[in-house]
Amino acid sequence: RLTNVADGDNRLLQGHRVRELANSLHRLVLGLWPFWGAGDRPIRYLDIAAYPERLPRAVVPLLRGRPTEWMLADGYHSAVASEIRMELTHDFIMDGEVFSPGPGRVVRLSAPTTIDFVVP
């Protein structure tokens, strides 16, 4: 359960979430890109409210980053941020590992600098 999310624009999302996905990369493998929204901030995120309507039907538009109108109305949200703050009531998974949110149950995601990779 995610109780609060603030994304740098002070957007506050409350309640249960089925998925909160954040990424600082500019592209993913196989052309998958489950994010939409304009801006040049370093973190892109996808937020899906718990108990989403028609989740199986939303998979393909989500993977392409092209939500339908009904998805937007049913709690599928994506944007960019410099920082994301979350108050969590349970453990969370990052890069395949389980972590506890610690004192105050607040987790802060940020990407203060960028790293360039050179591919030969």
Q: H helices of the chain, where?
A: 55-64, 69-73
pLDDT tens digits along 39-76:
778 888 888 888 887 888 998 998 888 999 999 888 88
The pLDDT value given to residue 69? 92
Count of Cβ atoms closer than 10 Å to residue 78 Cβ? 20
Phi, psi (degrees; rounded to nearest 5) at 55: -55, -45
| Model pTM score | 0.73
| Residue keyed to tokens 């944007």 | 79
